[in-house]
Structure 1
Amino acid sequence: MSTSTPPRPAHVWYASYGSNMYRGRFLNYLQGGRPAGAARSYPGCSDCAPPGADTPIRWAGRLHFATRSPTWGGGVAFADEAERPGQEILGRAYLITTEQFDQVVHFENSGTIAAEAPRVPLNEVIRRGRTRCGTGIYAVLCHLGDREDVPVVTFTSEFTSAAALRGDEYAVRGGQRFLVQTHPPSPAYARMIGGGLAETFGMESEAQADYIHGCPGGDEWDRQELVAALQRC
């Protein structure tokens, strides 16, 4: 007896947790443009329609900041899904098409042309819970469950926060191999996350700073200097 392959979902809830929590920054991925404080512009997706909806999301794990981003000049956010009592990742889930999701994953892993984005293995990650696609630093897909019968999916690195703190593993970006180490986020990148926390959870700058400062890499900031950086326009 043959078994048919299930159809690929038409939409996903993309669970963002770093700078993409800030809606204006995420729209640069979908519609093109350069985020404030970034060194890179984005061409936009083939379908530049805005998300159909968005919603706050939390899941077990720990946010951490690692590598040195050529776009932001400091550490960028990754989701370590190892469960730790009392710790959770705060995020914002956007309802987008699977084609848009393919292209966002492509852009996050240094791709520059929307039409060249490969199709991510959504059915595989839904079935297995976690799978790898490609070789970029955000090439690990994670299925966080379903919302209204639509899969909730995020992407992160293969390395953990513990590995970044040890500084004994390597990753690949743009075909170049480099040592993974914990690094603090730049002021501009921290403000993007702070803006997303404000929009999504109504958090003021003090609470934003507490969340970022409570993460590996974020704790390399002096807390009061971080508060001041988050308050700066």
Structure 2
Amino acid sequence: MTNELSDFVQAPNQGLHPEVYEIENNAMDRSGALFARLEDLAPWDGKDLLDLGCGTGYWLPKYLSDSGTVIGVEPDANLLQAARARSAHIQVHQGSAEHLPCADESLDVIHARFAYFFPSPKNDCSAGVAEALRVLRPGGSLLVIDNDQQHGEFASLLQSSPWAAAQGESNFTNAWWEDHGATRHEVMSSWKFDSVQDLASVLHIEFPTQLANEWIARHPHATQLSYGYVIYQIRKEATDAQ
């Protein structure tokens, strides 16, 4: 399959290593701390939810409820088939943060998990925010899940990794979201893997080889590490006319 979106940039982790990224997703937030906070901030039971940058669709079935709809949007055409195979009750479309295949005011909740929203002096994400506000109903929320770059063992790895520079610097990122009217919420969770080998395979797609090997050498029997998240929430307010 080919990607037709002119502004598409393939994710180096999930896009190039979908099988390993499946292991990573399976290890992520097994305690449910992040998921519970997301649901507390913007409940989706009976609502219409969009998972933006859904990848292979790992999280899509977790959003299903007795009513409401779940939609996945993913720019990487090579991942769409796997996402669509997750459930017959979920719609999956090719699209991007700046080009959502959704009608105006048709959604209640949008989640963007490590997708598109990496603001930096060289990367303005305002177009994605504007598009999210277009498709959200009054009272709806955009929830962006990002890495906490200060707290947890994963944050220590990020601080040592040159690859993390593309995700933006935390002070700039926090200020950018504040300027766009977002509230900031921290959640501490963890990665928990089924084996030492699984953890090692994931570290090697997320970090440079030398950094990953150094961490593994210091923690030869580790199957988990603490992992902090930051959630940025923008809520679409109702106008006087509404």
Q: TM-score, normalization: structure 2? A: 0.30
